[in-house]
Amino acid sequence: MKTLIQQMLAEAAARALPDVTTPDAPHVERTRDPAHGDFASNLAMTLAKPARRAPRQIAEAIVAALPASDRIAGVEIAGPGFINFRLAPAAFRQVVPDILTAGADYGRSRSGAGSRVMVEFVSANPTGPLHVGHGRGAAYGDCVARLLTAVGFDVHREYYVNDAGRQMDILAMSLWCRYLQYRGEELPFPAGAYQGDYVQTAAEQLAAEQGDAFRHAVGEVLADLPPDVDAGGDRDAYLDAIITRARELVGEDGFRQLLAVILDEQLADIADDLAAFGVSFDRWFSERSLVDDGAVASALERLRVAGHTYDEEGATWFASSRFGDEKDRVLVRASGTHTYFAADIAYHLNKLDRGFDRLVDIWGADHHGYVPRVQAAVQALTGEADRLAVQLVQFAILYRGAEKLPMSTRAGQYVTLRELRDEVGVDATRYFYVMRSNEQHLDFDLELAKSQSNDNPVYYIQYAHARVCSVMRQLADRGEQFEPDTADLARLEADHEQRLLTELSRFPEVVEAAALGYAPHTLAHFLREVADAFHSYYNAHPFLVEDAALRNARLALVQATRQVLANGLALLGVNSPEVM
């Protein structure tokens, strides 16, 4: 209905104001107060300045030029010039055949057609299994991509693999130290190394396959190293020293081989974990490739030629403060090495050069201070301030009853995404992750997510879908058939029916708003409301009545409800069971 009203307004405005450029899709929204009708538009007020007329005069001219529609019961002008629409009962009932005809396509649109969007999400360091914090970013990013696809955007999903830098050095060194232990060396494991079981598993396999190829005596490894933190030393200084020693003893090629072993294993594990969670990517993009291909140097040269860099104190700086950042940022250190930020600029330039019209980055909330500098870089490279949208995902805290579960990646003390979905299930995990705004902290209640009760929102929604399927099985058991062509939809007059019809009619608007606002939680809330309206209807009215016309009308309504629930759950990556 919103689209129909927009079309009517655009047509009427073009007739009433032929000398004024009018929007093809005027702003229309549902009214908060039913006394003001069902939909309202501020079109007259937005046209007042170019038309050089009072908003109410414009509203009167537009209303007079509106085409007739049997779905509109009345149009009123309110306040300074709002145009309010009151729908005819037939308009609400029409949603039922619209849904049944469209099927799985109901709610989809082409509003984003012709625009390419890159959604980059998860992008967790491949230094261990994904934990529950990564899981929230995965569920959120996947839902955003599904929603953007549903409204017509050409969506590309990408995982940025942080396979360069110090964390990779620590990972390779951690594997080497565990490997030495498996080969019989009594080497104390560095306090700052990665402690997880996955490192031990990889080391055991490496020891079995490579024998003593990377083995060196513990005395040779530890000679002249500074003390580790447990001996009163500095953790980072010890890490740097033992990484350097590993490179000296196994050589650069050997060190790269160690990294490749555990990196390949970790990426394969992450990909399998995400696939089981219903998340896939079109490309896994390597950070190392940016350096190897000269992309970092090329990006910095582009900025230099455009006049956005300068040299000071031996370093090269990006003048990011010109584009809203709080201060300028170093791109190349005095030592000649580039910063992480330089690689990020190169990556975003790579995205832009691949022809994406819009970039959506989904990061953890701990990156909030990093956003302005990256947005500044994209603006400097494109001259546009809105090409990049960064969505931050707040932390997810896992509770079992009143107990808060630990999460320390380096120490290896955390609940993995795999453990969470194995215990709770993929459907509940995904829904719980997105039922709150990504900007809000999430307290994930394990016991609630597992419960089969009305307090569990995903169970409540899926149960509504299963209940409709049960009704249709009962119909078949009675030897009867659903005949939608004989449904007298005018018989849907009860308050419960009107509520359900109104909710179902909102679905396309909810999908579009959730997509354009990167807000899957609004869809999650909507499905909860639809389920609530259905369960109330189910408890108040029998569906399999003797009156065939009424029976088919009610069955048509609940079948439309089932379709909307299925379509909405699919956009959240959640299944729609027929039996529960």
The two tokens of residue 500 are 């359900």
Query: Are β-strands 315-318 and 329-332 bridged in parallel, bridged antiparallel, or unpaired?
Result: antiparallel
Is the pLDDT at 19 greater than 80, yes or no? yes
Query: Tell me: the pLDDT tens digits for 293-347?
Result: 999 999 999 999 999 999 999 999 999 999 999 999 999 999 999 999 999 999 9
For residue 465, which of 550, 538, 551 has the smallest C-alpha distance? 538
Q: What angle do CA 249, 252, 253 make, to 5 degrees?
A: 110
Band (408; pLDDT cuts 50, 70, 90): low
Looking at residue 11, its pLDDT comes to 94
- Which residues are bridge partners to 510 per DSSP? none
Band (165; pLDDT cuts 50, 70, 90): confident
Residue 510 to residues 103, 474, 492, Cα–Cα distance (Å): 17, 32, 24
Provide CB contacts within 8 A for 115, sequence distance 6+.
152, 153, 154, 357, 358
Percent of the chain clearing pLDDT 70 (strictly above): 99
The H-or-E segment that residue 93 falls in is: helix 89-93
Please, where are the H alpha helices in 164-234?
166-182, 197-210, 218-222
Whether 93 and 44 have beta carbons less than 8 Å apart is answered as no
Residue 503 to residues 96, 103, 324, Cα–Cα distance (Å): 11, 17, 42
Phi, psi dihedrals of residue 36, rounded to the nearest 5°: -95, 15
- Taking residues 234-244, what's their average pLDDT? 96
Looking at residue 249, its pLDDT comes to 97
Query: Are β-strands 82-87 and 39-41 bridged in parallel, bridged antiparallel, or unpaired?
Result: antiparallel
Is the pLDDT at 400 greater than 60, yes or no? yes
327: left (phi over 0), alpha (psi -120 to 50) or beta: beta
The two tokens of residue 72 are 């509109």
* DSSP character at residue 88: -
- In terms of Cβ atoms closer than 10 Å to its own Cβ (0-12, 13-18, 19+), residue 253 is exposed
Long-range contacts of 299-308 (CB under 8 A, 24+ apart): 299/342, 299/345, 299/346, 299/349, 299/381, 300/331, 300/332, 300/338, 300/342, 300/345, 300/346, 302/349, 302/381, 303/331, 303/345, 303/377, 303/380, 303/381, 306/380, 306/381, 308/380
Looking at residue 128, its pLDDT comes to 85
Is the pLDDT at 409 greater than 70, yes or no? no
Whether 146 and 108 have beta carbons less than 8 Å apart is answered as no
pTM (two decimals): 0.91
The two tokens of residue 132 are 């529950």
Whether 254 and 115 have beta carbons less than 8 Å apart is answered as no
Looking at residue 407, its pLDDT comes to 60
Looking at residue 197, its pLDDT comes to 87
How many helices (H) and strands (E) the chain has is answered by 23, 17
Is the pLDDT at 162 greater than 90, yes or no? yes
Looking at residue 356, its pLDDT comes to 97
Whether 173 and 214 have beta carbons less than 8 Å apart is answered as no
Query: Tell me: the pLDDT tens digits for 100-159?
Result: 999 999 999 999 999 999 999 999 999 888 989 899 999 999 999 999 999 999 999 999
Query: Tell me: the pLDDT tens digits for 25-40?
Result: 899 999 988 888 999 9
Looking at residue 411, its pLDDT comes to 47
Looking at residue 413, its pLDDT comes to 57
Q: Is the dihedral of CA 196, 158, 302, 328 positive or negative?
A: negative
* DSSP character at residue 162: -
Query: Tell me: the pLDDT tens digits for 377-396?
Result: 999 999 998 999 999 999 88
- Taking residues 270-293, what's their average pLDDT? 96
Query: Tell me: the pLDDT tens digits for 356-382?
Result: 999 999 999 999 999 999 999 999 999
Q: What angle do CA 91, 92, 93 make, to 5 degrees?
A: 95
The two tokens of residue 405 are 């579960």
Band (406; pLDDT cuts 50, 70, 90): low
Q: Tell me the pLDDT of the chain averaged across its residues.
A: 94
Is the pLDDT at 483 greater than 50, yes or no? yes
Give me the domains of the chain, ranges plus CATH numbers. 2-87 (3.30.1360.70), 95-112+453-571 (1.10.730.10), 116-159+280-393 (3.40.50.620), 166-276 (no CATH)
First vs last Cα of the chain: how many Å apart?
Answer: 34
Percent of the chain clearing pLDDT 90 (strictly above): 90
Helix (H/G/I), strand (E/B), else coil: 179: helix
Whether 187 and 177 have beta carbons less than 8 Å apart is answered as yes
* DSSP character at residue 234: -
Q: How far apart are CA 261 and CA 205, in angstroms?
A: 10
Provide CB contacts within 8 A for 353, sequence distance 6+.
none
Provide CB contacts within 8 A for 511, sequence distance 6+.
107, 108, 109, 147, 150, 151, 523, 568, 571
Band (410; pLDDT cuts 50, 70, 90): very low
Q: Which amino acid is at 161?
A: V
